Structure 1
Amino acid sequence: MKALVKEKAEPGLWLRDVPEPSIGPGDVLIKVLRTGICGTDLHIRSWDEWAQQSITAPLVLGHEFAGEVVETGRDVADIAVGDRVSGEGHLVCGKCRNCLAGRRHLCRATVGLGVGRDGAFAEYVALPASNVWVHRTPVDLDIAAIFDPFGNAVHTALSFPLVGEDVVITGAGPIGLMAAAVARHAGARKVLITDVSEERLELARKVGADLALNVTEATIAEGQRALGLREGFDVGLEMSGRPEAMRDMIANMTHGGRIAMLGLPPQEFPVDWSRIVTSMLTVKGIYGREMFETWYAMSVLLEGGLDLAPVITGRYAFHDFEAAFDAAADGRCGKVILDWTA
C-alpha cells in the first residue's frame, strides 16, 4: 500500500510502498479515505528538535483520519465492515490507575498514533477497536477526518461552563477557530479571538467570533473595551503556546476567571503568579481528548448544527502531499485535508 513515511532522520517525507498492516483479535482494519495535516506532522516533516527527540525513523506518520472498516478481529463487537469511522490517536495501557478508573486520557503510558507507532497517512491503518469511533449519524468525510483536533477544541472549550460568559481565545489556528465556533454554539455571550494572521482572523469571523483581533495592531485590553466589558473575561482558552499571549490573557481575566491551556510552549516562560493568586484564577492544562466523552460531545454538537466547514481551507490528493504540507505550514490557512481516494 502507499504511505507517507518519515524514511530517514532528516527533513522531508517520502511516499513509499509499505506492507499493509495486519490485525489481532481485538483490532480493526480501516481503509483510509481522508486525513488531516496536524502541527505534529509539520514538526516531523521539518525534523526539528522535538521530532528528533520523539520520532524513530522509519515511521508512517498521521493521526487525523476518517475511513471505512474493511476487516475486524474475532473479538470485536459493535463495529462492522462498512462502518464509517474516525480514530482516537492516543493508545493507552488499560492497566494503570487512571485507565482502570475510566480516565484514559490521563494514562502515563500513552502511545501516539503516527508518533510512537505507524499512523494513518496510508491507504490502510490498524487500530484497537477500543480506539475506533463509529459515526452512527452521517458526518461529512472532511469533518470526520478532523475529529482528533476538533476533540482538542471541544475538550478545551468545554472545560468550564460557557453559557453567558465572555471568552477570550489566543491563537486562531485551526483548533482555536474550532474552539471559537464551539464557544459561540455553546452559549458564550462574547467571543474575542486573537492572532497575527489576517487570513485566519477572517476565518474566525466566519465561525462566529464577535471580535477577531490582530495583536500587532491592538491589545486584548483594547478589544475588551471595544466589546463593552468592564471586569475582564470569564473564560480564557490559550491555543497559541506563545508566552506573550498567556501573559496578556492573565492580565485581562476577571477575578475568579478560568483559563484552559492547550497551546504547547516550546520552552519554559515566566508568568505573573501574583496576579494569578490575587485574582484567584484557575489554570487548567489540556492534552488530547477525554475518551470518549469528548467524542460524544463532538457528534452531538454537529447534530445540533455546529458548522465547521469554514475551518477547512485546503483539500489535496495524497500524492500532492508536498503542496498540502506547504499550505498547512504557511500559517495563514485553516485545516488542510489529504484525500486518499484520489
Structure 2
Amino acid sequence: MGHGQVKIKLEAASVCGTDLHIYNWDAWASSRIKPPTIIGHEFCGTIVEVGEGVLDRAVGDFVSSESHIVCGHCKQCLNGQGHVCVNTKILGVDVDGGFAEYAVIPSQNARPTNRSVPREIAAFQDALGNAVHTAMAGPLKDQVVLITGMGPIGLFAVSVCKAAGAAKVITTEISPYRIDLAHKVGADLVLSPKDGDLCSRIEKEAPGGVDATLEMSGHPSSLELAVQCTRPGGRISLLGLYGNSMQTVDINALIFKGIDLQGIVGRRIWQTWDQMGELLEGGKLNLRPVITHQMHYTEFQRAMELMKAGQAGKVVFTFES
C-alpha cells in the first residue's frame, strides 16, 4: 500500500459492460488497457489494513468501490464536480481493480456501507450510482418517466424512480430476456420497438409527453424517441453511450420545447453516494431481480460468455476459499 490507501478483502464483485469490452479486447480496450492489469471496478469487502495518512477509514469497515479516482485539485473537483474531474483514473481500467481476493485502492474510493446492505448488492453500488445520478438529476415524485434500454442500469433506474414516487414508469427494450426483468423490477409498461409505433403508444400513456426521459440504451432511435416524446419543459438525461458519437437530433424541437438536455457521467462525488445510501437503507429498492447469476470469481469466463450472449442481468462474483 501507498500513502492514503486501504487494503480490502473482497466479499463480492459484479461484472460490468466495461469488463466485457476488455474481455473481448475490442478497439477501445486494446487502446486503453495496459497489461498486466487486474480488471473489475464494482466490488465490496472489509478493510484489513490502512495505509499512512488514512484517518477516516479503519480496519473492519465494510466498504464498496467508487471506480473514479479523482484528483481533488482541478477546477471541477474544487467546484463540487468531481464526477467530471479532468484527471480521472478508473479502477480496473487505468489501475488495478477488484477481480482478486484483495484490492488496494485510495481510501476515499472505499465508500463506507451499512452492513444491512447485502454484499451482493453492495458490490454493484458503482453501477447503481449511475442510475441514481441519472434518475435524480431532476424531479421524480408524481412524474411520468420514460426509460429507454433495460440493461442493468436501466433496470436499476426503474426501481429508483418507483422508490422516489414516480407516478408511472414506461420502459423500452427489444430483448425478451430483459423485458421479463423489467416487469420483475416494477416497470408499469414495457414497450418493444418490434411492436410498432412507440410514440403513439407513449402518447396514450402520457398525453402531451412524458415529464422525463432517461436514455440508457445508446441507440440512435432512442435519442429520436426521447426528443419526440418528452413534453415541453421536460428533461432528457443521457447516460447511454453511442457506437457512433456523431448523432443527428432535431435541435429546433429541443429549443422550442424548452427541454433540459443533460449529459450524465458517473456518480456525483459524493452526493450520489449519500442519496444511494438513503435509498438502500430505506429498503425501497427492488434490485434482486437484476441479479440473475452468482458464481465464484474464478468462473469469470462463464460470466463473460453469459453476458456476451445477452443471457444475464447482473452477474455477481463471490470470493470464498
Fold-level similarity (TM above 0.5): yes
1:169 match: secondary structure = strand
Tell me whether 1:142 sits opposite 2:159 in the alignment.
no
Give the alignment partner of residue 237 of structure 2, picking from 260, 278, 282. 260
Tell me whether 1:236 sits opposite 2:236 in the alignment.
no
The structural deviation recorded for 1:226 is 4.5
The structural deviation recorded for 1:61 is 0.6
CA distance in 2, matches of 1:125, 1:173: 27
Give the alignment partner of residue 315 of structure 1, picking from 294, 299, 304. 294
Which residue of 2 is the match for residue 329 of structure 1? 308
> Over residues 209-244 of structure 1, what are the superposed CA-to-partner deviations in whole Å (9 max), with x where a residue is unaligned?
1101111113332331442x2101110000011111
Which residue of 2 is the match for residue 6 of structure 1? none
Which residue of 1 is the match for residue 224 of structure 2? 247
The structural deviation recorded for 1:51 is 1.1
* Ranges in structure 2 where 5+ consecutive residues have no aligned partner: none
- Which residue identity lines up with residue 233 of structure 1 in the other structure? V
Question: Which portions of structure 1, spanning 4 or more consecutive aligned residues, are displaced by more than 6 angstroms?
Answer: none
Tell me whether 1:194 sits opposite 2:172 in the alignment.
yes
1:23-62 correspondence to structure 2 within 5 Å? 23-62=1-40
Contact 2:145 2:214 in 1 (8 A): yes
- TM-score under structure 2 length normalisation: 0.96
- Which residue identity lines up with residue 161 of structure 1 in the other structure? P
> Over residues 33-78 of structure 1, what are the superposed CA-to-partner deviations in whole Å (9 max), with x where a residue is unaligned?
1111001000011011111222112211110001111100132123
- Which residue identity lines up with residue 215 of structure 2 in the other structure? E
Stretch of structure 1 that moved more, 291-300 or 328-337? 328-337
- Which residue identity lines up with residue 220 of structure 2 in the other structure? P
Tell me whether 1:278 sits opposite 2:241 in the alignment.
no
* Ranges in structure 1 where 5+ consecutive residues have no aligned partner: 1-22
CA distance in 1, matches of 2:135, 2:276: 12
CA distance in 1, matches of 2:157, 2:125: 13
The structural deviation recorded for 1:329 is 2.1
Stretch of structure 1 that moved more, 41-50 or 329-338? 329-338
Assess, with a 3 A threshold, how the Cα gap between structure 1 residues 270 and 225 changes in structure 2: closer, same or farther: closer
CA distance in 2, matches of 1:160, 1:207: 21
Assess, with a 3 A threshold, how the Cα gap between structure 1 residues 210 and 42 changes in structure 2: closer, same or farther: same
Contact 2:114 2:281 in 1 (8 A): no
CA distance in 2, matches of 1:234, 1:27: 43
1:59 match: secondary structure = coil
Length, aligned pairs only: 319
Q: What is the Cα-based RMSD across aligned positions, in Å? A: 1.3
Q: Could you tell me the percent identity over the aligned residues?
A: 44
Tell me whether 1:120 sits opposite 2:98 in the alignment.
yes
Contact 1:34 1:66 in 2 (8 A): yes
1:247 match: secondary structure = helix
The structural deviation recorded for 1:276 is 1.0
Contact 2:174 2:194 in 1 (8 A): yes
Which residue of 2 is the match for residue 303 of structure 1? 281
> Over residues 128-164 of structure 1, what are the superposed CA-to-partner deviations in whole Å (9 max), with x where a residue is unaligned?
1111111134210010000000000000000000111
